[in-house]
Amino acid sequence: MPDDSVCREQILSEEYRDFITRQGRSEILGSLNTEGACQQSAAYDYRVLYLEAAQADPITLTRFGYQTIPKCYTLIDKVALSSAGITQIQNYPGLQLKGNGVIIGIVDTGIDYTNPVFSDALGKSRIIGIWDQTIQTGTPPSGFLYGSEYTKEMIQEALDADRPRELVPTTDENGHGTFLAGIAAGKENAPEEFLGAAPEALIAVVKLKEAKRYLRAYYKINPSAICYQENDILLGLQYLNLLAQREDKPIVLCVALGSNMGGHDGASSLSNSLEFYARSANRIVVIGGGNEAVQQHHYLGSLSEQTEEQEVEIRVSPGNTGFTAELWTDIPNIFAISLLSPSGERVPRLPIRTGTSQEFTFILDRTRVYVDYRLLVENTNSQLIFFRFDTPTAGIWKIIVEPVQLADGVFHIWLPVTEFLTGEVIFLQSNPDFTITTPGNALAPMTVSYYDDRTEAISIHSGRGFTRLGIKKPDFAAPGVNVIGPGPNNTFVSTSGSSVAVGITAGAAALMTEWILYDRKAPLIDSVQIKNLLILGTERREGESYPNRLWGYGQLNLLNTFQVVRNY
């Protein structure tokens, strides 16, 4: 492998392509020469390879497989602690849990480390490490090849200086990561009536670098969208895990990122990795369900007869530069498709040629559509038909789905999350279920939906379950509408969204972890155990059946959890 400085250049270069592989699956890269390639371990037998564009292009599923090409994730946007039973536990006699001795780890847009809500009672920073993947002037963390790490000593030295940014230049231009860290672990600000869920927890942060242009182009992502690569997220989680090992402390991994890419079945590389962490000792994983329920980006289809076909109508607004769509079904179902453009130009039923990528030009519509069939997606029992629409003309596009072989006849199609689109693209007959974004479909981590604690109503935007394989997600709901948290320049802002519920739940999980490991002196705990303890305490409405697609097992209530646990 080249030396570290060369690898850093390749990792950041648009002339190199990023790939995710697993131990024993290197054959997925086919005949490419990977000898001497720069690579990094991403834990749990995942590794990231960087190959020169000259030999890697063109990027297609037929060359590399579906899971090997990194997916793209965006923010699930930007306190109601009393409704979640957290304030009561912070002040409960004999408990007074504040997250002491627990790390909350955040992979996001960074953090404003100068904000006083991240200090302790003595005014010292509680941030024990920041890996800024976007700054290349410092030293990367040990075992990593790019970005700059800022240790707790460096952060404190900067805060003690007159101009801290000269010593530690990392910032959070977006503010999402700062808000998330604040509602999870911010200390009290009485004038603003603000208090984070675990105000004495330690904090560790990864600031993700933006996705490369070639990957945005491949997935037809809006060039101005906030977009992060799956491999950078995997490496960020590995950094937080290693930091927790060095500190010898439990960590709550807080993931407020989401995507509609993938089969919504927990089989993506990121979902798999989070599954491993969630089943490891003293690693707690909290994921948001996203904000896609009413965006009309999911279609649920069903065919019962071999001679039947189904027209799926997609409305594309003017000015859209491109988008992707993914059709997923379970083997032994096998489907074929044909396409009809707004002008009436039709591509007849496409032959299923797994191992080839097909390109079609609609002359009258000046549109190209690329179609990949994957009869068996790696690590799944699924068929995938992957579409990429390039400069689609405005109007109604139709995907005609026909059965080749039928079992239950059910199929799903997902369009990209709203943030990735350059204009409106929707299904005319959409289905709001199965809209939890990836990686929220992973089994072991806790996945949270969100509600308005003032009206006690679920947010209409909150992603709905279940997973495509029928796993009962979300696990429960937490407050996530009009919540106050830290904003830019030491201000406070009100915001709503899935990530708010993630932050509150991460703080609640930290309090529960503190109690089990330090008060009860248990040797270890894992994410599945914490999740089930929180489920035991959820509030449930009379007359509703649980678990359901909106609320999971009910509303998070940490006080109820402690009351239930004490009865056993």
| DSSP labels, 505-561 | HHHHHHHHHHIIIIIS--S---HHHHHHHHHHT-B--TT--SSBTTTBT-B--HHHH
- Residue 523, C-beta contacts closer than 8 angstroms, at least 6 positions apart: none
State whether 351 and 287 are in the same domain.
Answer: no
State whether 483 and 555 are in the same domain.
Answer: yes
Reduced DSSP (H G I as helix, E B as strand, rest coil) percent helix, strand, coil of the chain, to 5? 25, 30, 45
- The DSSP symbol for 424 reads -
Question: Where does the pLDDT of residue 565 fall: very low under 50, low under 70, confident under 90, or very high at 90 and above?
Answer: confident
State whether 90 and 167 are in the same domain.
Answer: yes
Gap between the Cα atoms of 95 and 97, Å rounded: 5
Domain assignment of residue 74, yes or no: no
Q: Which two tokens stand for residue 409?
A: 């006849």
Arithmetic mean of pLDDT, 110-115? 97
Q: Residue 178 half-sphere exposure, CB side, CA atoms within 13 Å?
A: 22
Domain assignment of residue 181, yes or no: yes
Q: What's the chain's Rg over C-alpha atoms?
A: 24
State whether 444 and 397 are in the same domain.
Answer: no
Arithmetic mean of pLDDT, 355-361? 83
Q: What is the CATH number of the domain that holds 256?
A: 3.40.50.200
Gap between the Cα atoms of 7 and 50, Å rounded: 8
State whether 560 and 468 are in the same domain.
Answer: yes
User: Which pLDDT belongs to residue 236?
Assistant: 98
User: Which pLDDT belongs to residue 91?
Assistant: 73
User: Which pLDDT belongs to residue 17?
Assistant: 95
Gap between the Cα atoms of 338 and 322, Å rounded: 19
Arithmetic mean of pLDDT, 56-80? 83
Q: What is the pTM of this model?
A: 0.96
Residue type at 379 in one-letter notation: N
User: Which pLDDT belongs to residue 77?
Assistant: 64
Gap between the Cα atoms of 510 and 81, Å rounded: 14
Q: Angle 114-119-122 (CA atoms, 0-180°, nearest 5)?
A: 125
Closest to 140 (Cα-Cα) out of 207, 203, 210:
207
Q: What are φ and ψ of residue 351, in 5° steps?
A: -65, 145
User: Which pLDDT belongs to residue 85?
Assistant: 62
Residue type at 463 in one-letter notation: G
Gap between the Cα atoms of 327 and 386, Å rounded: 6
Contact between 456 and 277 (Cβ < 8 Å): no
| Whether the predicted pLDDT of 26 surpasses 70 | no
- The DSSP symbol for 458 reads E
Residue type at 208 in one-letter notation: L
Mark which of 427, 453, 475 sits at the end of a domain.
Answer: 427
Contact between 319 and 423 (Cβ < 8 Å): yes
| Whether the predicted pLDDT of 568 surpasses 70 | no
Arithmetic mean of pLDDT, 384-399? 96
State whether 38 and 93 are in the same domain.
Answer: no
Contact between 500 and 480 (Cβ < 8 Å): yes
Mark which of 427, 451, 480 sits at the end of a domain.
Answer: 427
Q: Which range among 75-79, 417-421, 528-532, 535-539 shows the weakest confidence by mean pLDDT?
A: 75-79
Contact between 321 and 217 (Cβ < 8 Å): no
- DSSP secondary structure string for all residues of 183-199: HHHPPPBGGGTB--SST
* 3-class SS string, 203-230: EEEEECCCCCHHHHHHCCCCCCCCCEEH
Arithmetic mean of pLDDT, 378-389? 91
Arithmetic mean of pLDDT, 513-518? 95
Q: Which two tokens stand for residue 8?
A: 């850093």
Gap between the Cα atoms of 264 and 173, Å rounded: 31
| Whether the predicted pLDDT of 78 surpasses 60 | no
Domain assignment of residue 374, yes or no: yes
Cβ burial of 449 (10 Å; 0-12, 13-18, 19+) is: buried
State whether 188 and 224 are in the same domain.
Answer: yes
Contact between 19 and 49 (Cβ < 8 Å): yes
| Whether the predicted pLDDT of 306 surpasses 50 | yes
Domain of residue 456, residue span: 86-293+438-566
Q: Which two tokens stand for residue 72?
A: 């793209």
State whether 406 and 536 are in the same domain.
Answer: no
Bridge partners of residue 444, in order along the sequence: none
Q: How far out from the chain centre does Cα 429 lie?
A: 26
Domain assignment of residue 80, yes or no: no
How is the beta sheet containing 346-347 ordered, strand by strand? 346-347, 334-340, 395-405, 310-316, 425-427
In tens, the pLDDT along 119-172 reads 999 999 999 999 999 999 999 999 999 999 999 999 999 999 999 999 999 999
Q: Angle 157-161-166 (CA atoms, 0-180°, nearest 5)?
A: 90
To which residue do tokens 């847009």 refer? 109
Query: Percent of the chain, pLDDT > 70?
Result: 95
State whether 314 and 355 are in the same domain.
Answer: yes
User: Which pLDDT belongs to residue 268?
Assistant: 94
Question: Where does the pLDDT of residue 65 fall: very low under 50, low under 70, confident under 90, or very high at 90 and above?
Answer: confident
Residue type at 201 in one-letter notation: A
Closest to 255 (Cα-Cα) out of 513, 478, 499:
499
Question: Where does the pLDDT of residue 88 fall: very low under 50, low under 70, confident under 90, or very high at 90 and above?
Answer: confident
Arithmetic mean of pLDDT, 237-259? 97
Mark which of 427, 449, 468 sits at the end of a domain.
Answer: 427
Q: Residue 463 half-sphere exposure, CB side, CA atoms within 13 Å?
A: 41
Arithmetic mean of pLDDT, 29-57? 85
Helix (H, G, I), strand (E, B) or coil at 270: helix
State whether 218 and 311 are in the same domain.
Answer: no
Q: For the chain, give the mean pLDDT.
A: 92
Gap between the Cα atoms of 76 and 258, Å rounded: 6
Q: What is the CATH number of the domain that holds 369?
A: 2.60.120.1290
- What is the phi-psi region of residue 263: left when phi exceeds 0, alpha when psi lies from -120 to 50, beta otherwise? alpha
State whether 95 and 61 are in the same domain.
Answer: no
Domains in the chain: how many in total?
A: 3
User: Which pLDDT belongs to residue 182?
Assistant: 96
Bridge partners of residue 506, in order along the sequence: none
User: Which pLDDT belongs to residue 192?
Assistant: 86
- Residue 274, C-beta contacts closer than 8 angstroms, at least 6 positions apart: 237, 253, 255, 285, 287, 439, 442, 444, 445
User: Which pLDDT belongs to residue 2?
Assistant: 80
State whether 94 and 47 are in the same domain.
Answer: no
User: Which pLDDT belongs to residue 406?
Assistant: 95
Question: Where does the pLDDT of residue 83 fall: very low under 50, low under 70, confident under 90, or very high at 90 and above?
Answer: low
Domain assignment of residue 490, yes or no: yes
